[in-house]
C-alpha cells in the first residue's frame, strides 16, 4: 500500500455484466458503495467517458457527511472502469484515480480494484477497510439470483 494507494482482489459468483451494472447504475451504487454506517446519495451519474458523477456519504449516526465527485476516464463494458475522485473538502486535496478490472472466470467474475493518490490525511488502512466493507455489500447485491415475481 505504497504511495497512498490500496489494491483489492475478489472473486464473485456473478457475471461480469452484473458486476459492471453495479458500478454503473445509480441506485445500485448507492446500495453498496458506502461503508457500513453510511448512506449514499447519488446526485449525478453520467456513465460515459468524459461524463461526471457526484455523490455524498452521510454518517447515519451523526447526520454529517462529505461529498465527492469525479470523471469517468475509461470504460470498457463488463471489463474495465477508470474514474477520478475529488473530495469537496479542501482539507482532502488532490485527485484519486480508481481502476476496476473485471474478468470472466469459471465460477463468475474476478475483480481487481486499485485506488491511487488517496489524500494524505486519510490513513490507507482506513480506506482499505472501507473498501472491504463495500465489497462485502457488493457481493450481497450481485451474487443472489432472484427470479422475477408474478
CATH number at residue 23: 3.30.530.20
Residue 122 falls inside a structural domain: yes
Rounded Cα distance between 97 and 89, Å, is 17
- Tens of pLDDT, residue by residue over 130-142, are 999 999 999 999 9
Residue 147 falls inside a structural domain: no
Q: In this structure, what DSSP letter does residue 144 have?
A: -
Residue 32 falls inside a structural domain: yes
- Tens of pLDDT, residue by residue over 52-100, are 999 999 999 999 999 999 999 999 999 999 999 999 998 888 999 999 9
Q: Please state the pTM of the whole predicted model.
A: 0.93
Residue 33, domain extent: 6-142
Looking at the 3D structure of the chain, how many domains does it have? 1
What pLDDT is stored for residue 1 in this prediction?
A: 38
For residue 43, which phi and psi values (nearest 5 degrees)?
-85, -30
- Tens of pLDDT, residue by residue over 12-27, are 999 999 999 999 999 9
Residue 148 falls inside a structural domain: no
CA of residue 73 relative to chain centroid, distance? 14
Cβ atoms of 1 and 8 within 8 Å: the answer is no
Residue 105's pLDDT band, with cuts at 50, 70 and 90, is very high
Amino acid at each position: 500500500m505504497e504511495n497512498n494507494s490500496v489494491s483489492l482482489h475478489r472473486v464473485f459468483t456473478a457475471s461480469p455484466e452484473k458486476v459492471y451494472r453495479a458500478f454503473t447504475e445509480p441506485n445500485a451504487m448507492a446500495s453498496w458503495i458506502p461503508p457500513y454506517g453510511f448512506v449514499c446519495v447519488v446526485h449525478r451519474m453520467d456513465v460515459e467517458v468524459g461524463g461526471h458523477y457526484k455523490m455524498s456519504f452521510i454518517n447515519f449516526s451523526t447526520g454529517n457527511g462529505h461529498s465527492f465527485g469525479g470523471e469517468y476516464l475509461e470504460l470498457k463494458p463488463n471489463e474495465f472502469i477508470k474514474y477520478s475522485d475529488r473530495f469537496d473538502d479542501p482539507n482532502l486535496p488532490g485527485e484519486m484515480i480508481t481502476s476496476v478490472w473485471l474478468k470472466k472466470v469459471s465460477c463468475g467474475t474476478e475483480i481487481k480494484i486499485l485506488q491511487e493518490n488517496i489524500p494524505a490525511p486519510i490513513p490507507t488502512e482506513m480506506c482499505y477497510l472501507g473498501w472491504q466493507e463495500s465489497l462485502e455489500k457488493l457481493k450481497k447485491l450481485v451474487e443472489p439470483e432472484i427470479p422475477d415475481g408474478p
